[in-house]
Amino acid sequence: MFSHSDILIECVPNFSEGRNKATIDAIAEEIRQTPSVQLLHIDIGFDANRTVYTYIGKPEAIVEATYKAIKKAYKLIDMRLHAGKHPRMGACDVCPLIPYQNIDMETTKTYVEKLGKQLGDLGLPVYLYENSATTEARKNLADIRKGEYEAIADKIIQKEWKPDFGPTVFNQKFGMMALGARAFLIAYNINLDTKDLSIGKKIAHAIRVERDIKKNSQLQHCKAIAWYIEEYGFVQISTNITNYNASPIFYIFGTVKEIANDFGIRVNGSELIGLIPQKALLVQNPSNKISDQAKIEDAIEYLGLNQVFPFQKEKRIIEYILELK
C-alpha cells in the first residue's frame, strides 16, 4: 500500500469504549474507509473499557481519518455513563500523532494543529500535549487528565486550563481530550501473581520513585500504575514506555520482577497493548550469530507475552504488518 518514499504518520487514538462491539466497529470503519490509511491493529480492553486503534497513513489522510473517527465516537459514546479501570477524561481520551517515515516532529505538529482546530470547531475541548504542548503544565498527559472526567466541570473554567481548541464549556457527553505529536510509545503491562492491589500499588510506586530520584535510571522513560483486572483475576503493573531505547522493555520487566520478589510475589509474564517496533524486541541480544527471528522468539519467551493471550508476532510487530514496497 505504501512505499519507502511515502511520508507517513502513525496515529494511536484511545477511545473510552471497550465493551460495545457495534461502537468499536463503527469507529474502525471510519478509519478503514479513508483512502491512504492502513488500520494495523485494534486492542480492546473490557475491564479498562477502552480501545486502542493503531493506523498509519499519509499526513492529510491521517487528519481526515482521525477527525471522522473522533466525530463518530462523539456520536456514539456518552461519558456520563462510562466506567472502567483505565484513567479517562473523554470519549476520545488521548490521540497521539507519531512521525513514522520521511517526516520530522516539527512537521507532524502542524498536522496536529490542523486536526485540533477541526475538532475544536466540532465543539470538543482539545488540549495539546507532549511535543505539541503550549505550556510546560500541559506536556505530561497525566497532568492534563488529573481528576479525570469528574473534574472537568471545575477545571475547564479556570484560566490556566482553557482548552487550546474548542469551547471553555464542559461537554458532558464527550468530556475533553489530549492531542499531540510525540515519539513512539509502548503500552506494556506486567502480570503479578496476586489479587492484592495494595502490593501492586507499592511496586508501581517503587518504580516511580527510582525513576524520579535516579535521573540516569533506565526507568527514566517509564510511567507506571497498578490495577486489578477482574477479567484476568490478577493485578498488573501497567506501564507506558515513552523512549524504548533509553528504557528498554527488558529492563522494565526485570526490575518489576525484582521488586515483586522483594514483596514475595511472582511475575507471571506480561502483555503488550497495541503494537511494538521490531527493534524494541532485539536490544536484549546484540549477537550476530543468531537470526532476528530467533531473537524475537527468545524475547517473547523471556517476557512471557503469551501468558494472557497468544502473542502473534505477525499481527503485533509493526514491521511484520506494514510491508513497504
Tell me which residues are annotated as active site.
Answer: 86
C-alpha span between 182 and 105 (Å, rounded): 7
C-alpha span between 251 and 244 (Å, rounded): 10
Q: Which of 250, 325, 309 is nearest to 41 (CA)?
A: 309
Residues paired with 22 in a beta bridge: none
SS3 of 102, please? coil
Give me the half-sphere count of Cα atoms (radius 13 Å) on the Cβ side of residue 318: 21
Angstrom distances, CA of residue 7 to CA of 2, 37, 56, 59, 275: 9, 12, 10, 7, 20
Query: Helices 21-32 and 59-76 sit at what angle, rounded to 10 degrees?
Result: 160
DSSP 224-247: EEEEEETTTTEEEEEEEES-TTTS
| CB atoms closer than 10 angstroms to residue 102 | 12
C-alpha span between 223 and 275 (Å, rounded): 18
Q: Which of 262, 283, 270 is nearest to 311 (CA)?
A: 270
> Phi/psi at 165 (nearest 5 deg)?
-140, 150
